[in-house]
Structure 1
Amino acid sequence: MTEANNIVWHASEITKQDRTSQNKHQSPVLWFTGLSGSGKSTITVALEKTLFERGIRSYRLDGDNIRHGLNNNLGFSPDDRKENIRRIGEVAKLLNDAGLITLTAFISPYREDRDKVRQLLPEGDFIEVYVKCSLEGCEARDPKGLYQKARSGEIKGFTGIDAPYEEPVAPELVIDTENNSVEAAVSEVLTFLEERKYI
């Protein structure tokens, strides 16, 4: 990758504070991480709908969706996974500055990569949400049939099977999807946002 030279940041006359003031809410990045099948996408879809119905501006970034476009040149090697999350972090940073609540649904298996995204954002604007479900629970759901393919050797480097997943050490929020409904998960996130005056 070549390094860009002779570039200068061109500042806007509209600040993030201007945007959040107009929106009447803050613009945190809610980073949903967890194993494949844990419920990240399902929860963020439901949460996005609820926020929209309440007049709260948000946008959802989903792992598979992003790989259809922005990251369609990346595979699932450790280096490609790191680059995938780096790019998403930069997009999330832009949406944060734009005054939107950003919902991301990415396995993002490495702590270091998630921490790097946290460092991109202002203090308090990165909310790590651990969507907790055991490997057995995720494998029993297997909504895309990926675990079955990984077990049969059709997919190599699959998180939780033959590639690691590093659980968050101190996430802002833990959602147990093995024992709770989608509705309960959405309610838990909304309560968190309300109590901390994000919305």
Structure 2
Amino acid sequence: MTGKMTFAAFAALMIGAGSAQALTASYGLTVSGSRNVPTLSLSNTGDVAITQIAFFIGDTAYNIDGLSSISNGTSGSYTLVGVDTNTSGGSTSAGRSDDFSITYTGFLGGDSFSFGADVDRDHANTVEDYRNVFSDGGYMRFTFAEGSVLTAQFADMNTGDTTYDYVGAAAVPLPAGAVLLLGGLAGFGALRRRQKV
């Protein structure tokens, strides 16, 4: 009987140790275009769903007038927060923003999402070079379903290039591995107490 219990405890310990592989929370981001309305193409390159992106423009003398050409390649839906989709007619409405976010349901691994962002000077409908504006402290922050947060900083943009690629990744341990590991250790503890009696 002791041999079977030892084997069971050892098996639980090994399964727990082997199961502690990590998922990956990761993104790909391409910002492309030569002037006023860059395209931002996001992809979930990991195993954990993206639940939100938060965008900050950088130079706050400018703003995002609105989003256009939204392409939802996710498995779910999205909600814009703090920006609108009205980019025609030079609107100076409340839709203009230095920062905005997009929340997602179902932005799973392998999914994509893209949009155009109209960059204007505050209170004007002007043609601006987004690269100069974003490079002044701009970023996009990705939040994942298990709590990881990764940020793409736009500081490396120079006006000679028209495409900028950003990637980020973080390992996310599986919680089930810890439970199995603790179960294996508890089994060994019970076995030791039983053998001493």
| TM-score, with length taken from structure 2 | 0.31
Structure with the largest fraction of strand:
2
Larger CA Rg, structure 1 vs 2? 2
TM-score, normalized by length of structure 1?
0.31
Report the structure, 1 or 2, having the larger helix content.
1
